[in-house]
Structure 1
Amino acid sequence: MGRNGRFLIYGLFVLAAIGLLSQLINSPVSFFKSLLMMVGFAVVLGGLIYYFLIGRRKGHQHAKYKKAVKQSKKKYGRGQEKAAFSSMGNKPSRMQKTSKKSPHLTVIKGNKK
């Protein structure tokens, strides 16, 4: 873009600023109404672009992730359970001994020389 193109862009910005200021001075209600409509249109357009272009692209990967999380929770449980308190006092009830679960990582022995 040469020197003429740069002046054209600056000229457009100056004309837009002059138009916005004159509309704000002459009729502020219509200025804010049109500003609100522009913002609403931009939000709707952005939402549609996100849904059709970005949202559908990662749908397959997201489904695989959800399946892996569900499988992991089923295998390893949801985490530590909180101690239950009796209704008589603040003394925690005795919890049953649970067997220790196998660790997530395993050691693979290789050929050591």
Structure 2
Amino acid sequence: MRRHLPIWTYIIFGFAAVGLVTTIIFDMTSIIRNILSTILVVAVLYGLVYFFVLRHRQPNDLKKYRKAVKQSKKKYQQPKKANYHQAQKQQMKQKKQINTKRKKQKHASHLRVIDGKKDPNKKITL
């Protein structure tokens, strides 16, 4: 069942339509001025709300993505030409450290052979 509006709302809409038609006929510039001023006020309000409220809000996923991009750039950053020699020196130091660790692992200098008493009658089986 459709509900009908009260009669006084039809009267108000009628007066609004008559007023709009007479304003269009006799004073078109005021309508254009009112429309433009309304658009300007709405745009200014939207700009203020965007600038102070919406601009600083970012979705959580976007924050995580930007953080990941920043970490990736830091990790995979190419050495610059001016720092190329420094990077080469660092690589050489790292190689030397690795080589010294390998040498220490091959020759355990803290271990030594202790000669004890050996039984000559015992057979050594391997």
Report the TM range for the smaller structure's normalisation: 0.3 to 0.5
Q: Which has the higher contact order (CA 8 A, sep 6+)?
A: 1
Structure with more helix by fraction:
2
TM-score under structure 2 length normalisation: 0.40
